[in-house]
Chain A
């Protein structure tokens, strides 16, 4: 282990390779923290009776990274004891049951990291420019998060 100060860090990555829970949680581990909370978003195999073959994600990458950085900044304002934050989101094709997003947060005690992870995923769904397409057997559908304020949910 190197001896550089354990400065709070944000680890943000958008990538097309399979995500690793081990990798993401190890990024946030700190000797000053007794808690690491992790959220994993996985792909479901069905929607309204239709069988989902796989998902495809695309992103406005530069803005998505900026928006995730803003979320990290907000987290640190609301929960100042939070140490490290890692957000990894997969892009491209994601097979069923594989993870599309992993969020990990470390803090000295568990309350802050648990709350911060919840805040991260909820805010990500409302503000980060990433889109998911569900591929069924004969058709596909661009999904819309209910958290997205410009979606027309009463169509």
Chain B
């Protein structure tokens, strides 16, 4: 069970800012994205523009294998615009 955090445009599309999700302990970042899109199909439109932050490290959506622990934070990160 991981904590999924939504920000900016992804929070608007998903309609919420955070939730817990049950996912396999070992999963690629693409598979994780697909799990999230199953719950929030409107997120599919931003697939090419987001990255994850897993335990506060950026991860591209793709083949990267993630090893998740219960309670880990996974954030959806749309293109940033700080400063």
Q: Which residues of A contact B (CB under 8 A)?
A: 41, 57-60, 62-64, 66, 89, 100-101, 121, 124-133, 142-145, 148, 150-152
Contacts and interface: CB of A to CB of B under 8 A. Distances in A.
5 closest residue pairs by CB, A with B: A130-B82, A151-B79, A144-B79, A143-B81, A131-B8
29 contacts: A41-B83, A57-B82, A60-B77, A62-B56, A63-B56, A89-B83, A100-B83, A101-B82, A101-B83, A124-B83, A125-B80, A125-B81, A127-B80, A129-B77, A129-B82, A130-B80, A131-B7, A131-B8, A131-B82, A142-B8, A142-B9, A144-B78, A145-B79, A145-B80, A145-B81, A145-B83, A148-B79, A148-B81, A152-B48
A125 B83 contact: yes
A18 B68 CA distance: 39
Chain B interface residue number, banded = 10 to 19
A144 B8 CA distance: 11
Contacts, number: 81
Contact of B82 (A66, A145, A151): A145
Contacts of B8: 58, 131, 133, 142
B53 interface: yes
Contacts of B81: 125, 130-132, 142-145, 148
A150 B9 contact: no
